[in-house]
Amino acid sequence: TETKMLITCNGRAARHFCEMRAHPAADLEIRKLAIQMFNLLSENYPLITKYQKYDLLIKNFTSD
């Protein structure tokens, strides 16, 4: 079931969420959400992720 939600946070909190929840040890469903969130942040707010290494980490993660 698709769920729509609205989240408000600052850039640092968003980066921290992606870093923690896209980790391989995280639950699969939260990993998928974190990866989608990271991709949306990268597309819409590139300065938030521009100088972070998370993009390299995310590429190593799979949502499967």
Asked whether residue 17 is domain-assigned, the answer is: yes
Asked whether residue 6 is domain-assigned, the answer is: no
Burial category of 31 from C-beta neighbours within 10 Å (exposed 0-12, middle 13-18, buried 19 and up) = buried
pLDDT of residue 27: 92
Distance CA 21, CA 45 (A): 19
Tens of pLDDT, residue by residue over 2-48, are 888 898 999 889 988 988 898 888 898 998 898 888 888 888 988 87
Asked whether residue 25 is domain-assigned, the answer is: yes
Local confidence band at 58 (pLDDT 50, 70, 90 cut-offs): low
Query: What are the residues whose beta carbons fall under 8 Å from the beta carbon of 22, sequence distance 6 or more?
Result: 31, 34, 35, 38, 54, 57, 58, 61
Give residue 19's domain range: 11-60
Give the count of domains, the chain: 1
